[in-house]
Amino acid sequence: MRSDAKTTEPASALGAAIRAAYAAGQEDEALEPIVKVRADGVPAGRIGRGDVLIFYDIRGEREIEITRSLTDPAFCPFPVDEDLGLHFVTMIEYDSNLNVRVAFPKEEQIRNTLVEVVSRAGMRLAKVAESEKAAHIGFFLNGKSETVFPGEERIVVPSPEGLVNYDEQPEMSAAAVAEAVVRKAAEPGVRLVLANFANVDVVGHIENRAAVLRAIEAVDDALGRVAAEAERLGAVLIVTADHGTVEEWMYPDGTINTGHTRNPVPFVFADFSGPRSSAPRLRPGGELADVAPTVLGLLGLATPAEMTGRSLLASGALRNPGAAKVLALILDGWGLGDGGDGDLIARARTPHFDALRERFPHAVLQAAGEAVGMPPGTVGNSEAGHLHLGAGRRVFLDRVRIDRAVQDGSFRANPVFREALERAKAAKRPLHLMGIISHYSSHGTIDHLFALLEMARAAAVPEVYVHGFIGRRGERPESGAIYVEKVEDKCRELGTGEVVTVLGRYWSLDRESHWDRVEKAYRALVYGEGTQARG
């Protein structure tokens, strides 16, 4: 919007439209697009040819599809303008093949990850996950690398299709993932199998207690299937998680918390390769970065110098290193809670997990905050969790680097941002700021949006539009309207910017080629299709 035109517009038009959607049964995650329109009914601030756009999300894998639709002239999954010709900036690198400018490119590639070391030793390994978590077991576990190393096989089991939410089928594809693990474990040449069970994290983000309990129990059933095969093979079975979720499913006031937690996660060491009496001892505590050195030791491989994590096996406890197969299971979102009413892990029936913990050595791993390269006191997430499980060292995440840039002023001097702002001003084209609207999401924060708005004001960019994605992960019910109104308040305070699009992240942040969802987001952003909020 032009900074001198804001005073005539009501600030609450979008907030009122979002609350009306809540009253009609919608929720933040899948909120149908809402588009601000002028008095004449024309949608405000649509993304048009030659415009400048900054996508300020900081995660990556869910941002690729919508970015492709807006930047790739050869894009074909659904009809788009042939070439919008946008000057498109992303906060970090989402995919090296995208035709965009990156404000905070990778500082360095993470070398000598668990998978890379195993591959270089000439060992075969298999990774198994359902499609909902394929990026985590692949890209993130490999140190945020797109490389598939020699000897590395990736098996992606399709997640259920045709569902609005996974609480309709909380078992997801856990049984099929377990069977794929069993098949690969039985192959003579495969030394290591790494697998992710997605259910607890994915269903835990939905406010449906019965479905969450079924998800937990489905993972426990799958765990039992793999454990039985590990015992048959005489393998070493490791059971851990990437972060907590449903073990703290309620806030202190009793409202439901569908987000991640700061709680530790389990590490169970089930050694079926020898007599129980000689089972190794574990260090009592550790963090996710300690898992990779532990696995390398089990395979008889030396830990590279880059890995600062320490083996969880007590000194001298490992018997016959390198002799057994290793199966490592990541129970996504399976944290350790206090056992109270809000601890759904404790409330669910988990006989296989319980039996393994009773029979074998186990430890507690830190999986949040500084232990996974994030600011102190922050919750864990799947991206940081898998990154640290594979890297075997603490890795400062992009959020920390960007937060520091905001604090020390280098954010405002970023040459990619400066170029974008000057281009918008010189070409007299609108500047669009697109991304998550949340106080603290793994995808980003409104603090970064506010910093960009302040830069746009300082640069006197005449038209600035905000397109926001919302979703209740770790937020209280109906928080989307509150955050949108906070952004509107900031725009009024600065005299710059206007929120013109709001939609649930379900539509815009897909990662499994659900192109019907992405198309809905695209058509809202470019053509103004959606519920109208007149302001």
- Judgement on whether residues 483 and 524 belong to the same structural domain of the protein: yes
- Judgement on whether residues 365 and 414 belong to the same structural domain of the protein: no
Decide if 350 contacts 216 (C-beta within 8 A): yes
The CA distance from 265 to 335, in Å, is: 5
* Per-residue confidence in pLDDT tens, the chain, 535 aa: 333 333 334 457 899 999 999 999 999 989 999 999 999 999 999 999 999 999 999 988 899 999 999 999 999 999 999 889 999 999 999 998 999 999 999 877 899 999 999 999 999 999 999 999 999 999 999 998 989 999 999 999 999 988 878 999 999 999 999 999 999 999 999 999 999 999 999 999 888 999 999 999 999 999 999 999 999 999 999 999 999 999 999 888 888 888 899 999 999 999 998 776 566 789 888 999 999 999 999 999 999 999 999 999 986 555 566 668 999 999 999 999 999 999 999 999 999 999 999 999 999 999 999 999 988 889 999 999 999 999 999 998 888 899 999 999 999 999 999 999 999 999 999 999 999 998 777 788 999 999 999 999 999 999 999 999 998 666 677 889 999 999 999 999 999 999 999 999 999 999 889 999 999 999 999 999 999 998 7
- Judgement on whether residues 290 and 175 belong to the same structural domain of the protein: yes
Domain final position from 394, 427, 459: 394
The CA distance from 374 to 362, in Å, is: 25
Please indicate, yes or no, if residue 33 is contained in any of the structural domains.
yes
Please indicate, yes or no, if residue 367 is contained in any of the structural domains.
yes
- Token pair listed for 295: 């696995």
Domain final position from 373, 394, 415: 394
The CA distance from 228 to 182, in Å, is: 9
CATH of the domain at 513: 3.40.1450
Please indicate, yes or no, if residue 288 is contained in any of the structural domains.
yes
Decide if 512 contacts 132 (C-beta within 8 A): yes
Please indicate, yes or no, if residue 1 is contained in any of the structural domains.
no
- Judgement on whether residues 304 and 420 belong to the same structural domain of the protein: no
* DSSP classification of residue 138: I
- Judgement on whether residues 207 and 334 belong to the same structural domain of the protein: yes
* Domain residue limits at 291: 114-394
Please indicate, yes or no, if residue 149 is contained in any of the structural domains.
yes
Domain final position from 394, 419, 437: 394
Would you state the pLDDT for residue 487? 96
Q: What is the pTM of this model?
A: 0.79
Decide if 118 contacts 296 (C-beta within 8 A): yes
Please indicate, yes or no, if residue 464 is contained in any of the structural domains.
yes
Would you state the pLDDT for residue 2? 33
Would you state the pLDDT for residue 474? 61
- Judgement on whether residues 260 and 290 belong to the same structural domain of the protein: yes
- Judgement on whether residues 222 and 310 belong to the same structural domain of the protein: yes
Would you state the pLDDT for residue 223? 98
CB burial of 137-160 (b: ≥16 within 10 Å; e: otherwise) equals bbbbbbbbbeeeeebbeebbbebe
> Which single residue is written with the structure tokens 């974008």?
420
Q: What is the separation of C-alpha 278 from the centre of its chain, rounded to a whole number of angstroms?
A: 39
Would you state the pLDDT for residue 9? 42
- Judgement on whether residues 293 and 405 belong to the same structural domain of the protein: no
CATH of the domain at 175: 3.40.720.10
Would you state the pLDDT for residue 285? 85
Please indicate, yes or no, if residue 268 is contained in any of the structural domains.
yes
The amino acid at 6: K
Please indicate, yes or no, if residue 159 is contained in any of the structural domains.
yes
- In this structure, the chain runs to a length of 535
- Judgement on whether residues 160 and 254 belong to the same structural domain of the protein: yes
Our count of domains for the chain comes to: 2
- Judgement on whether residues 363 and 427 belong to the same structural domain of the protein: no
Q: Compute CA distances 379 → 146, 271, 319, 367, 483, whole Å.
A: 26, 31, 36, 8, 19
Burial class (CB in 10 A: 0-12, 13-18, 19+), 11: middle
- Judgement on whether residues 340 and 195 belong to the same structural domain of the protein: yes
